[in-house]
Homo-oligomer: A and B are copies of this chain.
Amino acid sequence: MSKRKILIQLDGDDLPSVFDRVVAVDAGAEEIFSYGGITPEQVRDLVYGAMFTRGPKDLKSTAVFVGGSDVGAGEKIFAEVQKAFFGPLRVSLLLDCSGANTTAAAAVVAASRHVSLEDRKALVLGSTGSVGRRVARLFARKGAEVRVASRDVARATEVAEEIRGSVDGVRIQPFATGEVDGLRAALDGVEVVVAAGGPGVELLSLEERERLVAQPMGHSLQVLIDLNAVPPVGIAGIEPTDAAVERDGVTTYGAIGVGGTKMKIHKAAVARLFEANDLVLDAEEVLDIGLAL
């Protein structure tokens, strides 16, 4: 008889996420061991409990999910989990703090339905948050020419440097988009725009959007994706429920429109954990799962 599928939820927040637990149930995890307020120091003993209880052929029925609202804290937990492994004694794990990996993957999956990303110009507005950084990194991995934007050019530059350090041969450029001139420069010639700013922050006004598509020599814009569901949305004129809606000749997605794909990816990623005992699912692997759906 095969072992019951156990997902160990390590959450940096005091209360382990209900959201992640429900998704885990719906993804087929049969037992969820939920731990909140997890610090990196506590990880090793918990992971040993996963490694040393089942035989090698059953290790794939135990897996670890790292979550919580603080992505930086989660990345440390994620690293500690991997440090605890030795040799073939390991279990699969997934990082999805604040839903950042699955959301970023869903945005890139949405864009890739309409444009091949290779060598295309892709702009990420609000690129310094955890979702924005991941969207930019994933675009870079897919061979796009990436533009990372922020009101603060120093922060955008920091994101660009981080991605240069992790993706070989990447073409990436920071933009300061707080002022209209910088925004227009960032938008010039782009094919894909993803807005990944905070709730209630408009990053692209209706005026600038209309100006962009009304250029006398035509425009290259094909896809506009807004990941903010809280009004005002990040890209004016997009409805949160937009899912491949045509607006002014441009395909648009809103946060809820992308959310459906995010949920499918999240569930598929959790289900995938139980297919082998050596998977490490960070943004890139989550994107591959999303692209294969």
A residues at B contact (CB < 8 Å): 3-4, 6, 8, 14-15, 17-23, 25-26, 31-35, 38, 42, 45-50, 52-54, 62, 263
Instruction: Give every chain B residue within 8 A of A14 (Cβ-Cβ).
Output: 42
In the complex, are the beta carbons of A26 and B42 less than 8 A apart? no
Tell me if B19 and A49 are in contact (CB < 8 A): yes
Q: Which B residues lie within 8 Å of A48 (CB)?
A: 18-19
How many angstroms from the CA of A54 to the CA of B259 in the assembled complex?
12
- Interface contact A17-B263, CB-CB below 8 Å: no
7 of the cross-chain contacts (CB-CB < 8 Å) are A4-B26, A6-B22, A15-B46, A18-B33, A18-B53, A19-B52, A22-B53
Determine if A22 and B49 form an interchain contact, defined as CB atoms under 8 angstroms apart.
Answer: yes
Distance A27 CA – B149 CA, assembled complex (angstroms): 53
| Interchain residue pairs A-B with the least CB separation, the first 5 | A18-B49, A19-B49, A22-B53, A18-B46, A4-B25
Chain B positions within 8 Å of A42 at CB level: 14-15
A4 to chain B, nearest CB (A): 5
| Known pairs A26-B3, A34-B33; A53 contacts B19 (CB<8 A) | yes
Write out the residue numbers on chain B whose beta carbons fall within 8 Å of the beta carbon of A62: 22
12 further contact pairs, Cβ within 8 A, besides A18-B33, A33-B34: A3-B25, A4-B26, A6-B21, A6-B25, A14-B42, A15-B35, A15-B45, A18-B45, A18-B50, A19-B48, A22-B53, A26-B54
Instruction: Compute how far the CA of A42 lies from the CA of B14 in the bound complex, rounded to whole angstroms.
Output: 10
Task: Provide the residues of chain B in CB contact with A52, threshold 8 Å.
Answer: 19
A213: min CB distance to chain B, Å = 32
Measured CB to CB, the nearest residue on chain B to A58 is B26
Q: Which residues of B contact A49 (CB under 8 A)?
A: 17-22
Residues in chain B near residue A18, CB distance under 8 A: 8, 33, 45-50, 53
A73 to chain B, nearest CB (A): 16
